[in-house]
Amino acid sequence: MPEPITDITGYMNGVGARARAASRALARAGTAAKDEALLAIAADLDANREQLIRENEKDLESGVRKGLDAALLDRLELTPGRIDGMIEGLRQIAALPDPVGGISDLKYRPSGIQVGRMRVPLGVVGIIYESRPNVTADAAALCLKSGNATVLRGGSEAFHSNQAIAAGVRRGLEQAGLPADAVQVVATTDRAAVGALITMPEFVDVIIPRGGRSLIERISNEARVPVIKHLDGICHLYIDDEADLEKALQVAFNAKTQRYGTCNTLETLLVAEDIAETVLPELGGMYREKGVELRGCETTRRLLPYAVAATDEDWDTEYLAPILSIRVVKDLDEALDHINRHSSRHTESIITENYTRARRFLREVDSSSVMVNASTRFADGFEYGLGAEIGISTDKFHARGPVGLEGLTSLKFIVLGDGHIRT
């Protein structure tokens, strides 16, 4: 552990001021310099694998001493495979197109001026995350490529791992001639640092918290700067009575069982009553064989006697586990009504061959991703072609759904004239 920092406010103000200064240089930095830095960071991490693992072991040992549970220790560990993943991620982001400076919609107006919009960085991005140290490299890379300076505040349990990664990031930035302060990892585990980071609008333009619901809610409640936040993923799939049976079975099974712990995993299945007898017994059997606990409404339980009774709470629960709630509804309207009431506005899908109902579902479901005949598991920055994602926003303001490089930028207006004046 380094010397403890006692004046947290003073320290964080220094971090903020340096980030703001670095953000100006970074906004002007060319694509080549940013990509060079990303590749230099990747090479640095690759060359220092042993040191990364040594520092990570300090965190793991202290985690064991503190009695962290197995899941947390697993997330904390930097395995060789995870280091490969960080390095590969940096290289992938270097290969993505640079969004900054792109000009769109440049059009002549009747006055003779030409008006367009130029994509620009947001400025300084604050990232608050918990145990996974690989977030340090991933988040820094996305912010760097999008021309933003970053202040990263990782979990105290990953302190040594994060500082080791941060040192590699600094060396890579310097090698490319970019300011080392463009990426700063907060060097204190004092929780007051988080409070300072989220209340410095003069230095920080947006906060992205990555972690559990309680972390995100606390930060949203206390922040004095905009927050790109991702709360629950209570995702729904509605099997319409005009569904293709084979698609319904495949998609409903995949959406629940392909991975249990992700935010785009199906949590509530809605089935139109006219097709329930056809689809539920077979689908229920597939889930049962896979070991998924089913919690159903009354009709569901008539068709699937092994399903337990769903309570009111089930319709508002993100299980992140092999549990699925199932409700039989009258029709699309009742499905939309259920979704409007219980969805966390993350991702919903309809299985139908009916053109009008597909169009209605797309228009009327107010979620960040709305799908027809596709698994909710596709709601992901890579699957959508964003190249990478820094998070998934369940808000509507600024960014919605998976947030990639573009979500870390804004658009300014540019006007080209030839001495034009307003009359």
Residue ranges in contact with a second copy by CB under 8 A: 24, 27-28, 101, 107, 109, 111, 113, 115, 118, 120, 122-123, 205-206, 226, 244, 246-247, 250-251, 253-255, 258, 340, 349, 351, 362-364, 366-375, 377-379, 383-385, 396-398, 400-402, 410-423
CB of 117 to a second copy, least distance (A): 8
- State whether residue 422 is helix, strand or coil: coil
Q: Sign of the CA dihedral 272, 277, 283, 285?
A: positive
Q: Which residues of 244-261 are buried (b: 16+ CB within 10 A; e: fewer)?
A: eeeebbbbbbbbbbeeee
Q: CB of residue 304 vs a second copy: minimum separation in angstroms?
A: 22
Q: Measure the CA–CA gap between 157 and 61, rounded to whole angstroms.
A: 10
Half-sphere exposure in the Cβ direction for 31 (13 Å, CA)? 10
Return the number of other C-beta atoms located less than 10 Å from residue 414's C-beta.
12
Q: Which residues pair with 239 in a beta bridge?
A: 271, 351
Nearer to a second copy, 82 or 398 (CB): 398
Least separation in angstroms between residue 141's CB and a second copy is 21
In the beta sheet, which residues pair with residue 127?
Answer: 152, 208
CA–CA distance, 1 with 413 (Å, rounded to integer): 47
Task: Give Cα 362 to chain centroid, integer Å.
Answer: 22
324: alpha, beta or left, given left = phi > 0 and alpha = psi -120 to 50?
A: beta
Region of 123 on the Ramachandran plot (φ > 0 left; ψ -120 to 50 alpha; else beta): left
- CA 352 vs. chain centroid, Å, equals 29
CB of residue 332 vs a second copy: minimum separation in angstroms? 13
Closer by beta carbon to a second copy, 217 or else 274 = 217
**Closer residue to a second copy in complex, CB, 190/331:** 331
Shortest Å, Cβ 299 to a second copy: 25
> Which lies closer to a second copy via its Cβ, residue 5 or residue 27?
27
Q: What does the alpha-carbon distance between residue 209 and residue 10 come to, in Å, rounded to a whole number?
A: 23
Residue 252 CB, nearest approach to a second copy (Å): 10
Token digits of residue 32:
């080549």
CB of 7 vs a second copy, minimal distance in Å: 25
Which is closer to a second copy, CB of 269 or CB of 374?
Answer: 374
If the CB atoms of residues 152 and 392 are measured against a second copy, the closer one turns out to be 392
- Residue spans of beta strands (DSSP E) within 247-363: 266-272, 293-296, 308-309, 323-329, 347-351
Closer residue to a second copy in complex, CB, 48/394: 394
Name the residue nearer to a second copy (CB basis): 77 or 240: 240
For the CB of residue 110, give the shortest distance to a second copy in the complex, in Å.
9
DSSP-assigned letters across all residues of 203-235: T-SEEEEES-HHHHHHHHHH-SS-B-------E
Minimum CB distance to a second copy, residue 116 (Å)? 10
For a second copy, the closer CB: 33 or 308: 33
Dihedral (CA of 210, 212, 213, 215) sign: negative
Q: For residues 185 and 82, give the distance between their C-alpha atoms in angstroms, rounded to a whole number.
A: 20
Q: How far is the CB of 220 from a second copy (least distance, A)?
A: 9
* Burial of 215 from C-beta contacts in 10 A (0-12 / 13-18 / 19+): middle
168 closest CA partner among 81, 48, 50: 48
Helix (H, G, I), strand (E, B) or coil at 358: helix
Q: How far is the CB of 277 from a second copy (least distance, A)?
A: 21
CB nearer a second copy, residue 176 or residue 392: 392
Give 12 or 386: the residue with its C-beta nearer to a second copy. 386
